[in-house]
């Protein structure tokens, strides 16, 4: 068993990156605890693990005494003649270690070592998963759908690091994912739970759109075009406000691309959702005007309480408000102003 154990630890260190020394220390402590529990809680024992010899031994520590008395304890004491057999240097009063060879120690050590190794693998895998996802927090990762559960409304995806659950609230409404689909997901956060890290993935988060724009548009990735604001109603519409650090670069044109090629790459990832790319402005009135795109706005008046009165032609009123008020609602979220839209004759 010992040789197999050390071989297993070598493989574990190579394939999983789990330190052999760390595992040996854990096995040693576990064996000591198991032995004490098996033999009535005695404390004068030591487990010795020798990686070089691939050997595990257990020793009982005893005090050398001169003669047998009524108070003699074979578990804590040893007679001088017996101690001399171990080493001629042993004298009365000194402490010696006697190797123990209980019949069931090999079985006990095998079971304990197996439990420690399994637990060690689980803990290390959880740690690796947590570290991997924490490094990718607020980033997008590629994933493959491995299971869907219509009853629970969940989708299980494999990110290459581990499998994780995409809950119904974090899915794009109306999107039908099938096993084998390759998708991109946004890593919202990593929660530390007693049973291991819980990774919150999302396709509904506005951060997914932002990262997709960075992925598909070089000017955004390089910081020439800045995303100044973004709000989203997943599955339906997103509004993105952009500006440029270079006066020669049109931020909206850079995002849309020739014949809409760049924005199309983002839309392909999120299905039929619409994206309005609008110009950010430090002037609240101009910003609100742009945010209400695709409607044409005649005038905007803002007050000190972050309220805005917007006037449009009657034929633009329904477009400005949007279906079920969506366009006005998203514009308000994007700009941070309460917007009141009115038609003017």
114 lies in the same domain as 6: yes
Q: Which of 154, 181, 179 is nearest to 165 (CA)?
A: 154
Hey, what are 209's tokens? Answer: 């759109």
Residues in the chain: 345
| Confidence label for 184 from pLDDT (cuts 50, 70 and 90) | very high
Domain count, the chain: 4
| Confidence label for 70 from pLDDT (cuts 50, 70 and 90) | confident
The domain of 172 spans 139-202
146 lies in the same domain as 173: yes
**Residue 28, in any domain of the structure:** yes
Q: Residue 41's pLDDT is what? A: 63
228 lies in the same domain as 307: no
67 lies in the same domain as 21: yes
| CATH classification of the domain holding 143 | 2.40.50.140
120 lies in the same domain as 7: yes
58 lies in the same domain as 36: yes
Cα–Cα dist 1/218, whole Å: 58
Of the residues 128, 148, 183, the one at which a domain ends: 128
194 lies in the same domain as 209: no
| CATH classification of the domain holding 325 | 3.30.300.20
Of the residues 240, 263, 280, the one at which a domain ends: 280
**Residue 134, in any domain of the structure:** no
275 lies in the same domain as 212: yes
| CATH classification of the domain holding 88 | 3.30.1480.10
Backbone angles phi, psi at 47, to 5 degrees: -100, 130
Site of tokens 């390089």: 222
Q: Give the pLDDT confidence of 145-168 residue by residue, as tens digits.
A: 999 998 999 999 998 878 889 999
Q: Which of 269, 272, 274, 268 is nearest to 294 (CA)?
A: 274
217 lies in the same domain as 178: no
**Residue 124, in any domain of the structure:** yes
| Confidence label for 2 from pLDDT (cuts 50, 70 and 90) | low
**Residue 133, in any domain of the structure:** no
Q: Give the pLDDT confidence of 242-266 residue by residue, as tens digits.
A: 999 999 999 999 999 999 999 999 9
Cα–Cα dist 333/326, whole Å: 11
Hey, what are 111's tokens? Answer: 């079971």
| Confidence label for 194 from pLDDT (cuts 50, 70 and 90) | low
pLDDT, mean over the chain? 88
Of the residues 202, 225, 256, the one at which a domain ends: 202
Identity of the highest mean pLDDT range in 16-20, 40-44, 66-70, 204-208: 204-208
- How large is the C-alpha radius of gyration of the chain? 35
Mean of the pLDDT values across residues 204-213? Answer: 96
Contacts 24+ apart (CB under 8 A), 62-70: 62/95, 62/96, 62/97, 62/98, 63/93, 63/94, 63/95, 63/96, 64/90, 64/91, 64/92, 64/93, 64/94, 64/95, 64/96, 65/92, 66/92
41 lies in the same domain as 114: yes
Q: Please say if the pLDDT value at position 6 is more than 60.
A: yes
3 state SS of 89: coil
154 lies in the same domain as 118: no
Mean of the pLDDT values across residues 274-286? Answer: 96
111 lies in the same domain as 229: no
């Amino acid at each position: 068993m010992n040789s197999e154990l050390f071989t297993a630890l070598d493989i574990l260190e190579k394939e999983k990156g789990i330190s052999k020394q760390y595992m040996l220390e854990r096995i040693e402590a576990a064996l000591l605890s198991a032995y004490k529990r098996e033999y009535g809680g005695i404390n004068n024992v030591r487990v010795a693990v020798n990686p070089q010899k691939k050997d595990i031994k257990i020793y009982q520590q005893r005090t050398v005494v001169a003669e047998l008395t009524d108070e003699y304890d074979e578990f804590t004491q040893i007679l001088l003649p017996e101690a001399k057999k171990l080493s001629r240097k042993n004298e009365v009063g000194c402490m010696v270690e006697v190797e123990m060879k209980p019949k069931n120690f090999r079985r006990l050590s095998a079971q304990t070592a197996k439990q420690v190794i399994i637990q060690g693998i689980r803990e290390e895998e959880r740690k690796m998963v947590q570290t991997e996802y924490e490094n990718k927090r607020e980033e997008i990762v590629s994933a493959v759908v491995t299971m869907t559960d219509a009853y629970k409304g969940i989708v299980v995806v494999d990110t290459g690091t581990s499998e994780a659950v995409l809950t119904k609230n974090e899915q794009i409404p109306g999107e039908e994912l099938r096993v084998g689909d390759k998708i991109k997901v946004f890593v919202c956060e990593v929660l530390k739970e007693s049973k291991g890290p819980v990774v919150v993935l999302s396709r509904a988060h506005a951060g997914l759109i932002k990262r997709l724009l960075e992925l598909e548009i070089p000017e955004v990735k390089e910081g020439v075009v800045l995303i100044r604001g973004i709000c989203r109603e997943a599955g339906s519409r997103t509004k993105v406000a952009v500006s440029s650090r270079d006066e020669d670069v049109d931020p909206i044109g850079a995002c849309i691309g020739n014949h809409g090629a760049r924005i199309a790459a983002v839309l392909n990832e999120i299905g039929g959702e619409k994206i309005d790319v609008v110009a950010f402005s430090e002037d609240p009135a101009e910003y609100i005007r742009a945010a209400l795109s695709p409607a044409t706005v005649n005038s905007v008046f803002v007050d000190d309480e972050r309220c805005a009165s917007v006037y449009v032609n009657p034929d633009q009123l329904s477009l400005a408000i949007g279906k079920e008020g969506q366009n006005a609602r998203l514009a308000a979220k994007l700009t941070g102003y309460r917007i009141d839209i009115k038609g003017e004759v």
